[in-house]
Structure 1
């Protein structure tokens, strides 16, 4: 809080904060503007008949869009296409050498990768908007609670709706980049954060108050709030935790000056993979459910999927979800952290880990440390991801839980990252102001 107050006292940072708030207001307004061709009254009735969506793929898209997806607004897709595109481009670095070369080129290469991410975002937006409109027309989007949300379902009308939703995604992507360039924090992360928070408090209040003042339970409300605070503190603690590997640099003569001889450390986070494993796991597990919605409900495979994978509280779902979280924790870390590259860079600059030979021995040691950290990180992600499921089952909340593991990780991660950037920029402007005042004082003399 002190950091935000200090930031608001600085004119430049105050303008940045107000700019971010303005972008957030525009984003939230767009979430309530219906896509032309949608029957708004029918959509509201459909949403009212549904229980809280769980964290399957549809639930994640609705979560990241701030509820705009189920409202079929112009921002129905939210930031999900961009997130998916960013992850896919990162994964393709392993398969396509060209992408890895661009990554190593520095700023110019990253600019090209960003451009590829934009193109892929638009392509995914077309695909996802088409899927959403088709499932909405069939009623599958609303768990078959109702249909006829699109009165005129002609091909031309659907094409126009797809173009409008895709344009909305492009506009969101542009706003996010503006926030990153002219505001504080990472634009996409802030929009995700606000999307989640927009539906958080109403769902939390519903546990105590109930639906229309009925079926509420304030005891359960208090327990959920208490568990949420404990988990949030735990997540913040783990996200800030580091394994610091000591690094020393040898003294080297460059020209007439002696460089090096300093000691530092290599910080390694416990959760290097972030929120990616739960997102990947829930997205993959939702694919069979989406396919089953287009099949015959009397077929045995459709019945099995609807019985064992449609709900997040079934044994099959929990087991498969846990296995995939562990797998993607190790897999994604292996992509984002390369021990060989770190060891080579350390060797090139004259750095070494005390007691370990530079080069391949350092690489093996870093790989050993990362495997241990990934094991702890996977257990941590399993705990955070499965706690909501345990609460739903033990307290009989019927999926009426305002937070999931993904939600908590995003809120904590984005909040910490934004505060770090705000603090860094506050200190930067204070230091710049100090130098400017001293320069004026010297010139006055």
Structure 2
């Protein structure tokens, strides 16, 4: 593998792409450490040490590479773009106009991408306003004594400058991601998410060694590393697993020539939904806590929500979180893969599944297979997502526990796709690549 990396850097055009990607990643991390104008840097650092942030803020903080808690110019990270992409993907199923654009090919995809950019900026303005308002009120950091002094000047002009700066930071991140896609290696947005998540791994591992519940030291550190390697192996195994449905195309005689007669397959992944169900479940579970926080109520229902649906180490929270992930896994697969459309396309081009009649029986068979393989995929997602919550009770580092939840899924998934792209470019140049 090291030889393959050396050969990749010896190839001039591939070396340029790799160095360009690394330079953009370094620039992205630099922006994650530049504070927004008007923020008290000393008070922010003190609150970061004292407090604990979970829920949706914890998710945004993960995708921003801990830039949210630092209140930097890249505090929002790539989260607004992810949210906009998911919303547009869901609206494609509902709005016929977007569905027609999707079927138009490259021109329609470019139009949807433009809509995604506009929606990203709108969401960035909303999220920046909410985060600045939360920080100025002192509720961004729970348990911080100087939380209300993070933003000393709360005038309208200062707040507007902070919101504009964070929104501009999100726009720059979006531009950097598109630059990587065009001139670098891999998908730009995925690479930036990978960079944000991987940046928190060293500090999280060192925190386990220093301040774990079981006393810290090298024994829990090595134990977490060993468990992390097992988790990476499990995630790689499941992410690569797929059910290949065989498809045969009938042979057609046109004049004196025979066309068709080829055999292929439809790859149905076990984890067809990726990390999106975990994001949906985390966002939905944050809504009850947000309602209680905004209402300021101290009634029995507010106390129950505060006790069971806000603290992530409670059994009720874990059960609801797990069930939501399973539900959203089936929901997202249902809207992203249409068996009837696939069956119609196969019938149009003379394809059929051996032993299954074309048309409606093919759609029913694909739906049956998809439902069966989605069950283990959804259970796997739920178990992976619960690992950081369980780590809260063992190592006392839930939000920074590196091996579990969205972090391990993103790092392994993006890593596999990027390695595949480098491998394919090496094979085009008659090199051995990573696998001999």
Q: TM-score normalised to the size of structure 1? A: 0.92
Aligned to 1:17: 18
CA displacement 1:337-361 (0-9 Å, x = unmatched): 1111111111122111100111111
- Mapping for residues 18-97 of structure 1, pairs under 5 Å: 18-51=19-52, 53-54=53-54, 56-97=55-96
- Structure 1 stretches of 4+ with a deviation exceeding 4 A read 394-400
Contact 1:207–1:400 (8 Å) recurs in 2: no
Q: Deviations over 1:49-84 (max 9, x none)?
A: 124x44x21011001001111111010000000000
Which residue in the other structure is 1:243 paired with?
Answer: 243
Cα offset, 1:166, TM superposition: 0.3
Inter-partner Cα distance in structure 1 for 2:85 and 2:328 = 16
Pair 306,238 (structure 1): closer, same or farther in 2 beyond 3 Å = same
In 1: Cα distance, 2:60 partner to 2:51 partner: 16
- Match of residue 439 from structure 1: none
- How much is the aligned-residue C-alpha RMSD, in angstroms? 1.8
8 Å contact 1:63–1:196 — kept in the other structure? Answer: yes
Secondary structure of 2:295's aligned partner: coil
Alignment of 1:358-373 (within 5 A): 358-373=358-373
Structure 1 residues 150-169: aligned runs within 5 Å = 150-169=151-170
Distance in 1, matches of 2:251 and 2:94, equals: 39
Within 1, Cα distance between the matches of 2:210 and 2:149? Answer: 31
CA contact (8 A) 2:51 2:143 kept: no
User: In the alignment, is residue 276 of structure 1 matched against residue 253 of structure 2?
Assistant: no
The residue correspondences of 1:205-354 to structure 2 (distance < 5 A) are: 205-210=206-211, 215-254=215-254, 256-296=256-296, 298-354=298-354
- Per-residue deviation, 1:251: 0.9
SS at match of 2:294: coil
Cα separation, 2, equivalents of 1:399 and 1:270: 27
Q: Distance in 1 between matches of 2:348 and 2:361?
A: 15
Q: Contact 1:326–1:378 (CA<8 Å) still a contact in 2?
A: yes
Cα 1:395/1:16, change in 2 over 3 Å? closer
| 1:207 Cα offset (Å) | 0.8
> Cα offset for 1:396?
5.2
CA deviation vs aligned residue, 1:114-169 (integer Å, no higher than 9, x gap): 00000000000000000100111111111141221111101121111111100010
Aligned to 1:184: 185
Q: Is the 1:79–1:169 contact (alpha carbons within 8 Å) kept by the matching residues of 2?
A: yes
Report the number of matched residues. Answer: 427
What is the DSSP-based 3-state SS (H/G/I as helix, E as strand, rest coil) of the residue aligned with 1:248?
strand
- Please state how far the C-alpha of 1:4 moved relative to its aligned partner: 3.2
Give the Cα separation in 1 of the matches to 2:172 and 2:429.
31
Give the match for residue 148 of structure 2.
147
Residue in 2 aligned with 1:441?
Answer: none
By how many angstroms is 1:221 displaced? 1.9
Cross-structure match for 2:124: 125
1:435 matched residue in structure 2 = none
Please give the secondary structure, in 1, of the residue aligned with 2:420: helix
The CA deviation string for residues 244-301 of structure 1, in whole angstroms up to 9 with x for no partner, is: 1111111113455321111121111000000000110011101222232233363433
Q: Which runs of 5+ in 2 are unaligned?
A: 432-436
Given that residues 242 and 270 in structure 1 are in contact (C-alpha distance below 8 angstroms), is that contact kept between their aligned partners in structure 2? yes
2:434 alignment partner in structure 1: none
C-alpha spacing 1:381/1:422, structure 2 compared with 1 (3 Å): same
Q: Distance in 2 between matches of 1:285 and 1:186?
A: 29
Relative to 1, partners in 2 of residues 1:345 and 1:217: Cα closer, same or farther, differing over 3 Å? same
Instruction: After superposing the two structures, state which structure 1 stretch, 94-103 or 165-174, moved more.
Output: 94-103
- Which deviates the most, 144-153 or 269-278? 144-153
Higher mean C-alpha displacement, 249-258 vs 416-425: 249-258
Distance 1:114 1:138 in 2: 36
Contact kept in structure 1, 2:389 and 2:398, CA below 8 Å: no
